[in-house]
């Protein structure tokens, strides 16, 4: 029972650690970090060594693959540049196999303690420090989970295990056992460590151990594919690339091994001796050879591999929508131009607002496409706001600083409007294909307000009367909404339907208020610009 508990606890900690690392690292990788990563991935060699370092630090090529997938989705690096990174990450995980005898628990406990003290001392109150604190906690849990998984076999009865494996394993069963073990543990290195321990103790023949390591290598590729099942587009491409690296390395090394045994007449066991002292290093080197072979073959043919990945998993609508159209890294060198580009990006997002509100008149208005567009727009709004924050850090001129702060405020409002619209649309979708008339009216009213704001932004030159009209329409509507709520109370006898109607109404009210706030921010900026005032 203790072995099962440690395995399950290790898996649970591993899953939580991977989630925390990928989630917080995505937020923590600001533009400076992305520039460093881009420099590291300009060539395949530097990208490979960067991946080796990341794999050695996290001891999970699957975690590095998922993190790289998130960075690709965010546009920080390309799929082609990320391929050497994940190839190197596989090689980096071999450090755990070679250092399997090192007890990481003490260091991990100290890391957990430091993170706990950081939370207690409110070190995470700053947004940037909060994300890195989450990364540290995720890494600590990840390492602790691997330590639990690695230590669980110590509680097995050696006699029972020796009796179970006394008759030996055929290559197929060893492959299958290794694949299942690596899939469950989410780590080929953890399965290899178990094979090293069992082989060194005489409980497993060396040939069987080698086949088990090959199976574990394949199984870890399946594990990352399962872990990334929720990803799509470029994010999923790297998960597939990880499977390709694992399969290619396993197939080539296994074929070379079988050819040598049959053609030359020697076997691995006769080479190192039955149960000799070099058994553990042999399996460790064999594991490293699998990673190097797959990574090298995919690395030298990454252009062809990238084409294959794009064909298998093309970019999703959400991914396309999450790419900024105007802001870019080089613009930060020219603050005035950068502010103009950020304003264009904000205006483009405002112009897309009508697309994310349910259009109940259009049967082709897919909720899935609408949600993808909404999530993509929200991602661009966050990235543009981060762009402005970095611009503000450059000690701008007073006029530019005022403009940057106003843009940042309007982008925060826009992001809140995206969240509210998403909640409103989700509430509308719950009514199905035939929503009540009240819901239809609310949805059309919200779309009309978004269209008016988009039209006011799109005009050149802009007419101040459009902003005045929208300000009147979004002004205090307390009496109207209160009357609407009274009507809703008599519209349905079903308590569940009534609750959904009131929830949609509340989201509509908040969305209208945010549209009015956003309209006021844009109109105020237009008025100040026309009078030449800095604000």
Burial class (CB in 10 A: 0-12, 13-18, 19+), 292: middle
Q: Taking the model in full, what pTM does it have?
A: 0.56
Backbone angles phi, psi at 469, to 5 degrees: -60, -45
3-class secondary structure for 228-272?
Answer: CCCCCCHHHHHHHHHHHHHHHHHHHHHHHHHHHHHHHCCCHHHHH
The separation between the first and the last C-alpha atoms of the chain, rounded to the nearest angstrom, is 69
Q: What is the pLDDT along the chain (535 residues), one digit of tens a residue?
A: 566 677 677 667 766 775 676 566 555 544 454 555 556 666 677 878 877 877 776 656 766 776 677 667 666 677 888 888 888 888 887 876 775 545 566 777 777 788 788 777 777 666 666 777 777 777 777 667 766 755 655 555 555 544 554 455 677 888 888 888 787 767 777 777 767 766 665 566 777 788 888 888 888 887 777 766 666 677 678 788 888 888 888 888 888 878 876 765 445 544 444 444 556 577 788 888 888 898 888 888 888 888 888 888 777 666 666 778 888 777 888 888 889 898 998 999 888 888 888 877 765 557 777 777 788 888 888 888 888 888 888 878 888 888 888 898 999 999 899 889 888 888 888 887 777 777 888 888 888 988 998 888 887 677 888 888 888 888 766 666 666 666 665 555 566 777 788 788 888 888 989 998 988 888 876 655 555 544 4
Cα–Cα distance measured from residue 78 to residue 453, given in angstroms and rounded to the nearest whole number: 35
Nearest one of 524, 426, 419, 410 to 468, comparing CA atoms: 524
The ranges assigned to domains in the chain are 2-312, 319-531
Asked if 522 and 409 count as a contact pair (C-beta separation under 8 A), the reply is no
**CATH architecture of the domain with range 319-531:** Up-down Bundle (1.20)
Tens digit of each residue's pLDDT (9 = 90 or more) over 427-467:
888 887 777 777 888 888 888 988 998 888 887 677 888 88
Cα–Cα distance measured from residue 293 to residue 249, given in angstroms and rounded to the nearest whole number: 5
């Amino acid at each position: 029972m203790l072995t099962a508990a440690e395995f399950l606890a290790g898996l649970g900690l591993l899953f939580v650690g991977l989630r925390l690392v990928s989630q917080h690292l995505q937020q923590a990788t600001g533009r400076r970090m992305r520039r460093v990563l881009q420099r590291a991935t300009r060539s395949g060699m530097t990208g490979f060594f960067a991946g080796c370092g990341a794999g050695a630090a996290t001891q999970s090529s699957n975690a590095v693959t998922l993190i790289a997938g998130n960075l690709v989705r965010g546009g920080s690096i390309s799929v082609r540049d990320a391929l050497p990174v994940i190839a190197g990450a596989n090689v980096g995980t071999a450090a755990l196999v070679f250092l399997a005898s090192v007890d990481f628990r003490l260091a991990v406990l100290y890391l957990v303690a430091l993170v706990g003290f950081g939370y207690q001392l409110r070190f995470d109150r700053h947004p940037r420090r909060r994300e890195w604190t989450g990364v540290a906690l995720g890494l600590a849990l990840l390492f602790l989970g691997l330590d639990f998984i690695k230590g669980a076999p110590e509680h097995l009865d050696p006699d029972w295990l020796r009796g179970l494996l006394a008759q030996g394993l055929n290559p197929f069963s060893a492959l299958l056992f290794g694949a299942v073990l690596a899939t469950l543990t989410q780590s080929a290195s953890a399965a290899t460590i178990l094979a090293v321990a069992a082989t060194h103790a005489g409980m497993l023949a060396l040939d069987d151990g080698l086949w088990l390591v090959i199976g574990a290598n394949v199984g870890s590729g399946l594990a990352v594919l399962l872990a990334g099942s929720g990803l799509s587009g470029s994010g999923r491409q790297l998960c597939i690339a990880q499977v390709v690296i694992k399969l290619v390395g396993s197939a080539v090394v296994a074929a070379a091994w079988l050819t040598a045994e049959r053609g030359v007449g020697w076997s691995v066991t006769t080479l190192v001796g039955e149960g000799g002292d070099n058994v553990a290093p042999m399996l460790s080197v064999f594991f490293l050879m699998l990673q190097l072979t797959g990574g090298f073959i995919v690395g030298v043919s990454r252009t062809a591999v990238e084409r294959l990945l794009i064909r298998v998993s093309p970019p999703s609508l959400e991914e396309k929508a999450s790419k900024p159209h105007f802001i870019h890294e080089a613009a930060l060198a020219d603050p005035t131009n950068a502010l103009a580009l950020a304003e264009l990006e904000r205006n483009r997002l405002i112009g897309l607002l009508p697309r994310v509100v349910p259009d109940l008149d259009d049967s082709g208005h897919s909720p899935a496409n609408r949600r993808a567009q909404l999530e993509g727009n929200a991602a661009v709004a966050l990235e543009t706001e981060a762009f402005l924050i970095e611009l503000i850090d450059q000690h701008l001129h007073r006029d530019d600083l005022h403009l940057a702060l106003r843009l940042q405020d309007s982008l925060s409002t826009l992001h809140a409007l995206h969240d509210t619209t998403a909640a409103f649309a989700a509430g509308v979708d719950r009514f199905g294909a035939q929503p009540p008339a009240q819901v239809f009216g609310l949805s059309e009213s919200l779309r009309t307000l978004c269209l008016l704001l988009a039209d006011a932004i799109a005009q050149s030159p802009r007419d101040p009367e459009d902003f005045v009209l929208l300000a009147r329409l979004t002004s205090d509507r307390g009496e109207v909404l209160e009357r609407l709520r009274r009507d809703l109370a008599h519209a349905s006898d079903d308590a569940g339907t009534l609750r959904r109607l009131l929830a949609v109404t509340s989201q509509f009210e908040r969305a209208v208020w945010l549209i009015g706030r956003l309209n006021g921010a844009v109109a105020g900026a237009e008025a100040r610009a026309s009078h030449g005032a800095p604000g």
